[in-house]
Structure 1
Amino acid sequence: MTTKERFERIYQHKEADRVPVFDSPWAGTIAHWEREGMPKGVDWREYFDVDKVQTIGIDITPQFDERVLEETDRYIIHTTGWGVTIKEFKELDSTPEFLDFKVTTPEAWQEAKERMTVSRDRIDWKNLEENYGRWVQNGDWIEAGFWFGFDVTHSWMAGTETLLIAMIEEPEWVMDMFETYLDRCIAHFDMIWDAGYRFDSITWPDDMGYKGTTFFSNSMYRELLQKYHKRAVDWAHSKDIYARLHSCGDIMPLIPDILETGIDALNPIEIKAGMDVFGLKKQYGDRLVLHGGINAVLWDDKEAITEAIRQTVPVLKENGGYIFASDHSIPNAVSLENMRSIIETVKEVGSYS
């Protein structure tokens, strides 16, 4: 089966030849594998013979000036198109430090909103022209990368504290941001669709939890965010394609409300944060594709990760509806040998034959 054929059956909750494998290694993980023998510059998905998912991105930023403010051997401080001043360390896989946010008031938001124009120039047409035909010919799964919701608004524009307080004190402002982001996504992906470029699903990152709990209550989710999730899902379904939500953290309390939006797939199902992947499979496995759910902490321990895969995958793959991945991403401690073993084990126990 091609990746597209395999994913289509899994999304329909039918059995395929095997469970799909769709994950994302860190840059340091790729460097680690190259040091241990993977040819430099080779697509790791081809090297390990796993599924290829291609994502179409767009630019909906306010396009604020991007400038380098300071650079040393260890880090670079610069401004972003979202109006954020960020310190990024040059070590692979380091966590950036957010130093300042431009959009911290409704007034500043109005300026940013006016700059979030709808324009064909915000789409990388060259990338589509050069690669889309090959993606289709190869049978890759193609996703539209939406960018809206709680996570990207607090982390890339307004700041966590500002947004959480505003959700209580200035909910109209918050909803206007959520809605504007989504409006711009839909407008640009409508352009792409109308130009003849088709995709199989939409996806968006909206981390709504952390270890052991969510950032906000169910009532706040229903009041401020749920309708935008639903609108994105409805837009996808109107085109007969699927919708996949990425949300890190323990979002178990939100699951019933999230499912009311009609999402088709959930990722990454973060076990180490408190998610119950077996409970999700038992209760919602007939209508929710589970993507992930394999504790990333275990991946550098060959015995532990092999045991986890053998215990988990056979249960989750029943009747389709499961895509194999870590519960976050593939960390740089995972050796080439371990990754080979992981893929071999998944293909063995994830086979439907």
Structure 2
Amino acid sequence: MTNKNLVMTAIDFKTPRQLPIWDNYWGKFSDNWREYMNFDKTVCPEDYYGICISICVADESLFPSQKKIIKTEGEYEISNDGWGRIVRTGKNNIYFSETVDHILKNPSELTHFKPEPAALDLRFDGFAEKVNREKKAGRCVFAKIGGLYCRSQFVRGEENLLVDMALDENFCNDLFDVMLEHRIQMALETLHRGDLWDTGLFIYDDMANSKTVNFSPAMFENYFLPRYKRLINEVKKAGCRHVFFHSDGNILPVMEMLLEAGFTGFNPLEPSCGMELTGLRKQFGKRMVFFGGVCNKFILPRGNKKEIEAHVRPLIELGRDGGLILGQASIGDDINPEAYDYYISLIKEHGNYCN
């Protein structure tokens, strides 16, 4: 059974031969891991551990032709990032980025705000090659676009957008409509160019903190529920098999509406934010597929093997009936390679459902 078969079997709530896994490695973890394992730079953890999923995204910015580095200031670059904003980023620090300016300063300027076409070839430089490379590596590949909230706050600024959502409903409706049309076209073009209809689409829309969503459920119902219904309807009508949702943080206050919109799977489901898988399965049954569920904030960084096993074994058992691709939001420098290797060994041993 291939990784794609494992993932799609789990999505269909059938028992996979082996519990599929999906982790993303950040910062210096891969280098630290290679040093611990005594591997050279040709070996990567994705291949060694058999990571089952890859997410492929095109350049979905509103104005990709406007992207450019404006100037360099010491260790920083000032650039137009294509989203209608000027950003300062660290040349040697991928974690540092801050917005310096927004093009859309006044709501009245929205009438002149027209995204460049989704079908521009420059959006897809190297995209098909990456999709093919990931498929050849044996991973189940999904398309990705950003969501309505997070991409709109790229344009407006998060604080400004939240104030707008409270005080200027007409402007927000116009802005979200512009973003919706662009999201639909980017989704369709990305699915088409990658020929990813048979797996599906992930929509990344970080909208929550560790306690709750950044705005009220009433605002979600007003602004996002009808638009996500339309987006999902459009891509499924075109042949997209599945549409899944990503947001860090606690999205429980809007989970029922996300399900109503048509999302059927969620990631990363951070237990440190109240998104604990056994409780979610009791509450929502087989209405939702889980992508994630492992604690990368406390349990893995502490590196206590007994604690890791006590955390992971019930999740492995939960995956026996399908509906789970185990993993976490990210694997970073704070996680010891020995602890991570032990975590994976538990999955390989106890997540082999043929035994």
Residues 60 and 118 in structure 2, CA contact (< 8 A), matched pair in contact too:
no
Tell me the number of residue pairs that the alignment of Structure 1 and Structure 2 aligns. 347
1:73-112 equivalences under 5 Å are 73=75, 75-90=76-91, 92=93, 94-111=95-112
Let me know the Cα RMSD of the aligned residues: 2.4
Q: Tell me the residue number matched to 2:312.
A: 309
Distance (Å, rounded) in 2 between the aligned partners of 1:197 and 1:246: 21
1:106-185 equivalences under 5 Å are 106-111=107-112, 113-124=113-124, 126-128=126-128, 130-133=129-132, 135-136=134-135, 139-154=138-153, 156-185=154-183
> Secondary structure of the equivalent of 1:85?
strand
Q: Which amino acid aligns with 2:319?
A: K
Q: Which runs of 5 or more structure 2 residues have no equivalent in the other structure?
A: none
Residues 59 and 122 in structure 1, CA contact (< 8 A), matched pair in contact too:
no
Distance (Å, rounded) in 2 between the aligned partners of 1:51 and 1:325: 10
> Secondary structure of the equivalent of 2:114?
helix
Distance (Å, rounded) in 2 between the aligned partners of 1:38 and 1:103: 49
Distance (Å, rounded) in 2 between the aligned partners of 1:30 and 1:10: 27
1:5-84 equivalences under 5 Å are 5-36=5-36, 37-63=38-64, 64-73=66-75, 75-84=76-85
Q: Percent identity?
A: 23
Following superposition, the deviation at residue 53 of structure 1 comes to 1.9
The answer to whether residue 196 in structure 2 is matched with residue 198 in structure 1 is yes
Distance (Å, rounded) in 2 between the aligned partners of 1:281 and 1:187: 33
The TM-score, its normalising length taken from structure 1, stands at 0.88
Residues 76 and 87 in structure 1, CA contact (< 8 A), matched pair in contact too:
yes
Which runs of structure 1 show a deviation greater than 6 angstroms over 4 or more consecutive aligned residues?
none
Q: Which amino acid aligns with 1:197?
A: D
The TM-score, its normalising length taken from structure 2, stands at 0.88
Distance (Å, rounded) in 2 between the aligned partners of 1:66 and 1:143: 28
Q: What are the superposed Cα offsets for residues 252-286 of structure 1, whole Å, 9 maximum, x if unpaired?
A: 11111111112110111122223233221112131
Distance (Å, rounded) in 2 between the aligned partners of 1:337 and 1:135: 26
Q: Which amino acid aligns with 1:29?
A: F
Q: Tell me the residue number matched to 2:269.
A: 269
More off after superposition, 12-21 vs 268-277: 268-277
> Secondary structure of the equivalent of 1:309?
helix
Q: What are the superposed Cα offsets for residues 78-102 of structure 1, whole Å, 9 maximum, x if unpaired?
A: 3321132222234555342223222
Distance (Å, rounded) in 1 between the aligned partners of 2:161 and 2:115: 20
Q: Which amino acid aligns with 1:249?
A: G
Residues 38 and 47 in structure 1, CA contact (< 8 A), matched pair in contact too:
no
Q: Which amino acid aligns with 1:235?
A: E
Residues 243 and 264 in structure 2, CA contact (< 8 A), matched pair in contact too:
yes
Q: Which amino acid aligns with 2:97?
A: P
Q: What are the superposed Cα offsets for residues 289-308 of structure 1, whole Å, 9 maximum, x if unpaired?
A: 01112111222333233331
Residues 89 and 97 in structure 2, CA contact (< 8 A), matched pair in contact too:
yes
